[in-house]
Structure 1
Amino acid sequence: MYWSKWDLNLKIRLIGDSLFSMFFWMYFPFMMLFFSDAFGKSIASMLMAVPPLISLLGSLFGGYLSDRWGRRPAMLLGAFLQTSMFAGFALSSSHWLDYLAYIGLGLGGAIYTPGSSAMVADVTPEKDRRMVFATFVTGRNIGAVFGPALGSVFFFQYRNGLLWACTTITLLYFIAILVWIRETLPSSADTKRSESKFLGILKEQAQSYGVIFRDKAFALYIVAGILVTLAFMQLDMYLALYVKENVPTQTLFAFSHLTLSLSSAQVFGWMLGLNGLLFVLCVMPVTKWFEKWPERNVLILSSLLFGAGMFMIGLTTYVWLLFLFTIVFTFGELSRSPVTDSFISKYAPDHARGQYMGAANLQFYVGRLIAPATIFLSSWFSPLMVFGFIFLATIVSSILYVQVFKMISVDYGKKEAAMLSDER
């Protein structure tokens, strides 16, 4: 699907999301250091466990809001909350206010995301959704690659200016959504607004999600996603610890009198850089490559590739092999990203697409919460055993994906087959 054929909603949001991602990655990686300096490592580690829980609830609420009131109101609320929190962070003179602003930023993003993903599905033909979602993934990852490098300078030396820049960008994006983005909530959706008080709305929301989670295939899909996310999160957790403790300083290459040696910290930095660069350069070609593949096969292959790549890292400390295995698990990671949203957009009923998108985010938040278990395991078991546990989690997830697609209705299977036949 060419850019010229994109809906105006998509064009505006691709630019806005990419810019915001850049600024997000200029502050997010350094927040643990910021709060550790402010409160101490022990308190900071406990405090940092709270934002994912708040974001989880925000994602569920954002999905409910986008289906009940519309995608646009949910996105506006999320963008406005982020703008306000950036401004509050910039004006704050208290570390506790900084922390509350940080929680608010996560909450705003969580409210915004389900409606945003649902809107992409609303305005994109089904056969083009993977490529469009892949384009959004590329935009976000450009920020993830360059943001930390810029943030390492601006966050520590010009923090207030950075926060005001973030405030300005999110405010302009809020205005763009308000002025140019049109509502895309399908006419089939139940637009009856609740007249209940706050507790009544919470009860109605709980009932709506109760229906979703009684969908056994979808619930199993969430469990499989949690196991995969547990593995993905090790890039910032156990993998960093393994490289630091086990990989020695070594020569990357030597030519004549020119020698480049990398310490363990530098090896890990290069692995992260390679991971991010591959995401930016390859997510679109890989998505195109697997375009004809059913979601089932892509999800299974992704889980197994990522787990195998991580496990092989535990077999070596040689830098070039570490880079090779980084490429293996990165291809597993990037082949999955566009498919998850594409699958939910097809599987969910039109009238509940936002809530399914919000509920699907549970796999990421819960996965993030249990991912530190590998650090605990590393105190008792060898690195190979820990990487084996990570690989086992991805193997189990692939088995669960097989079961998910067995449970999905025959109608969905026929629908997917018809779509692939039309593409041929």
Structure 2
Amino acid sequence: MTGTRLRAAYAAYPRPFWMLVVGTFVNRTGLVVLPFLALYLHGQRGFSVAQATLAVSLYGAGSFVGGFTGGWVSDRIGRRPVLLASLAGAAVPVALLPAAPTYAAIAALAFAFGLLAEMYRPAVSAAVADMLPEERQPRAYAIVYWAINLGAAVGPALGGLIAARSYAGLFWLEGATLLGYAAIVLVAVPETRPLSDESAARTLSLRPLARDGALAALAVAVLLVGIGFFQLFSSLPITMAADGLNELEFGLVVTVNGGLIVLIGLPVAAYVGDRLTTVLVPGAVALVAIGLALTATAETFWAYAAFAVIWTLGEMAFLPVVPTIVSRLAPAHLRGSYQGVYHASWGLSKTVGPALGGLVLTAAGSEELWLGAGGLAGVAAVVLLGLLPVLRRRFATAPASTSVPA
């Protein structure tokens, strides 16, 4: 019976969708550089905390540019070329980073890595909407996010083991998995962008994005959550090290996050994804805020792990459903650009968050840092609560989106 259900679930989605899921898992398993980049630059290369977190922010600056650019270009030339250029191109700067002789070179490579590595994300989100009708999109995005965290259940712990022996191995592993994902796209993922004379002409204008207040409010909420959330990948390893904890223990805390999402994230995200205009979405962000704020009191591995459970519960009910909200807001011919705005706001949080976190950590201390991170996420929850009436109105009146057979 279980086998029959699995086959039915597989058959409900086109094969190229599953290939994107497999590629996402491969890539996420090897996404080990960013969580350890600040620790590597500070502990291994001898740069200051401010310099180390600034480099992570430069990755974020690149991802901000790459997120919007990737979406914009995918609406014009297609999803597949963006995926291939992004994934294959990002392998170059990540492989060169450990050999960079100066901080300036490291900074330039971190920016280039962020730019190239993040361009593919809006193209994937747009491709999912291209392939599937509206009613299947919440579960499809949940599956993609589940694959991300299946990789995250393995990647950080693997990264911790590798970092304890040789940081250079982290960079080579990530480069290899980027190329692996590119190979999957090359062989098994066709173009999905909707094609028509009318849509091709209309894609030249981005005025609908600038005028969409709901998209802007959602982007602000994502930015605020992201600034707090990315402390977990820049300031958290430094905070834990100050409490006498090592790289492996940090990797295990992140693995708690990925492992919990693997266990229950798919049904949770699918449930919330079918209820986008309820208080579940701002409530999820409120949980993220509570988990971040409580981290201010952590001193042991078990305390860090326990608070990770709280912010993970919020994360799994929020981040997987944002692409569905964006897809529902977007005209079909601007799916990539709308997803690009979302990913750009996420990238901007990567830019601001680590550098701001490093400054607060240095000037005020870890308690103030985590309370501030929780406060920003709390403001995002309020923004989303205010956005609910607008989403209800937009989703009630929007025409059903079209999908492209794949």
Q: TM-score per shorter chain, which class?
A: 0.7 to 0.9
- Cα distance between partner residues in 2 of 1:89 and 1:316: 32
Q: Tell me which residue corresponds to 1:395.
A: 378
How many pairs are equivalent? 388
CA 381–106 in structure 1, closer or farther in 2 if over 3 Å, else same? closer
CA 119–328 in structure 1, closer or farther in 2 if over 3 Å, else same? same
Q: Does 1:149 align with 2:162?
A: no
- Cα distance between partner residues in 1 of 2:101 and 2:245: 36
Q: Does 1:58 align with 2:51?
A: no
CA 11–84 in structure 1, closer or farther in 2 if over 3 Å, else same? same
Asked whether the equivalents of residues 295 and 343 of structure 1 are also in contact (C-alpha less than 8 Å), the reply is no
User: Which residue of 264, 271, 275 maps to 1:293?
Assistant: 275
- Cα distance between partner residues in 2 of 1:407 and 1:85: 42
| 54-63 vs 340-349, which moves further | 54-63
User: Which residue of 215, 218, 227 maps to 1:218?
Assistant: 215
Asked whether the equivalents of residues 81 and 104 of structure 1 are also in contact (C-alpha less than 8 Å), the reply is no
Per the TM alignment, residue 183 of structure 1 is displaced from its structure 2 partner at its CA by: 1.5
Q: Tell me which residue corresponds to 2:34.
A: 28
| 378-387 vs 183-192, which moves further | 378-387
- Cα distance between partner residues in 2 of 1:374 and 1:158: 27
- Cα distance between partner residues in 1 of 2:235 and 2:38: 16
Asked whether the equivalents of residues 232 and 333 of structure 1 are also in contact (C-alpha less than 8 Å), the reply is no
Letter in 2 for 1:337: L
Asked whether the equivalents of residues 94 and 171 of structure 2 are also in contact (C-alpha less than 8 Å), the reply is yes
Q: Tell me which residue corresponds to 2:10.
A: 3
Letter in 1 for 2:263: L
Q: Does 1:331 align with 2:313?
A: yes
Q: Tell me which residue corresponds to 1:253.
A: none
- Cα distance between partner residues in 2 of 1:341 and 1:290: 13
Which secondary structure does the structure 1 equivalent of 2:119 belong to?
Answer: helix
- Cα distance between partner residues in 2 of 1:77 and 1:19: 17
Q: Tell me which residue corresponds to 2:148.
A: 140
Q: Tell me which residue corresponds to 2:4.
A: none
- Cα distance between partner residues in 1 of 2:157 and 2:296: 28
Q: Tell me which residue corresponds to 1:256.
A: none
1:160-199 → structure 2 map (5 Å cutoff): 167=175, 169-187=177-195, 190-192=199-201
Letter in 2 for 1:392: G
Q: Tell me which residue corresponds to 2:404.
A: none
Per the TM alignment, residue 35 of structure 1 is displaced from its structure 2 partner at its CA by: 4.1
Asked whether the equivalents of residues 224 and 400 of structure 1 are also in contact (C-alpha less than 8 Å), the reply is yes
Per the TM alignment, residue 264 of structure 1 is displaced from its structure 2 partner at its CA by: 4.7
| 373-382 vs 392-401, which moves further | 373-382
Give CA-to-partner distance per residue, 1:82-107, whole Å, 9 cap, x none: 244456669x6856766655443322
Percent of residue pairs identical: 23
TM-score, normalised relative to structure 1: 0.77
Between 1 and 2, higher relative CO (CA 8 Å, sep ≥ 6) is seen in 2
Q: Does 1:281 align with 2:263?
A: yes
- Cα distance between partner residues in 2 of 1:47 and 1:80: 22
Asked whether the equivalents of residues 121 and 345 of structure 1 are also in contact (C-alpha less than 8 Å), the reply is yes
User: Which residue of 367, 387, 406 maps to 1:404?
Assistant: 387
TM-score, normalised relative to structure 2: 0.80
Which secondary structure does the structure 1 equivalent of 2:194 belong to?
Answer: coil
Q: Does 1:16 align with 2:23?
A: yes
CA 296–348 in structure 1, closer or farther in 2 if over 3 Å, else same? farther
Asked whether the equivalents of residues 296 and 401 of structure 1 are also in contact (C-alpha less than 8 Å), the reply is no
Letter in 1 for 2:200: T
Per the TM alignment, residue 62 of structure 1 is displaced from its structure 2 partner at its CA by: 0.9
Which secondary structure does the structure 2 equivalent of 1:2 belong to?
Answer: helix
Q: Tell me which residue corresponds to 1:260.
A: none
Per the TM alignment, residue 331 of structure 1 is displaced from its structure 2 partner at its CA by: 0.2
Asked whether the equivalents of residues 309 and 325 of structure 1 are also in contact (C-alpha less than 8 Å), the reply is yes
Which secondary structure does the structure 1 equivalent of 2:191 belong to?
Answer: coil
Asked whether the equivalents of residues 71 and 115 of structure 1 are also in contact (C-alpha less than 8 Å), the reply is yes
Letter in 2 for 1:105: F
Letter in 2 for 1:148: P
Per the TM alignment, residue 271 of structure 1 is displaced from its structure 2 partner at its CA by: 3.5
Give CA-to-partner distance per residue, 1:239-282, whole Å, 9 cap, x none: 5565555x6xxxxxxxxxxxxxxx55587555433223212222
Give CA-to-partner distance per residue, 1:369-421, whole Å, 9 cap, x none: 332435544567686655443333223212211222333473423569x99xx
Asked whether the equivalents of residues 311 and 391 of structure 1 are also in contact (C-alpha less than 8 Å), the reply is yes
Letter in 2 for 1:177: V
Which blocks of at least 5 consecutive residues in structure 2 are unaligned?
Answer: 1-7, 402-406
User: Which residue of 316, 341, 355 maps to 2:323?
Assistant: 341
Q: Does 1:365 align with 2:365?
A: no
Per the TM alignment, residue 118 of structure 1 is displaced from its structure 2 partner at its CA by: 0.4
- Cα distance between partner residues in 1 of 2:129 and 2:366: 42
Per the TM alignment, residue 2 of structure 1 is displaced from its structure 2 partner at its CA by: 1.1
- Cα distance between partner residues in 2 of 1:84 and 1:317: 38
CA 182–55 in structure 1, closer or farther in 2 if over 3 Å, else same? same
CA 398–19 in structure 1, closer or farther in 2 if over 3 Å, else same? same
Per the TM alignment, residue 72 of structure 1 is displaced from its structure 2 partner at its CA by: 1.4
Which secondary structure does the structure 1 equivalent of 2:320 belong to?
Answer: helix
Which secondary structure does the structure 1 equivalent of 2:152 belong to?
Answer: helix
Letter in 1 for 2:211: R
Asked whether the equivalents of residues 67 and 347 of structure 2 are also in contact (C-alpha less than 8 Å), the reply is no
Letter in 1 for 2:199: D
| 56-65 vs 285-294, which moves further | 285-294
Asked whether the equivalents of residues 74 and 111 of structure 1 are also in contact (C-alpha less than 8 Å), the reply is yes
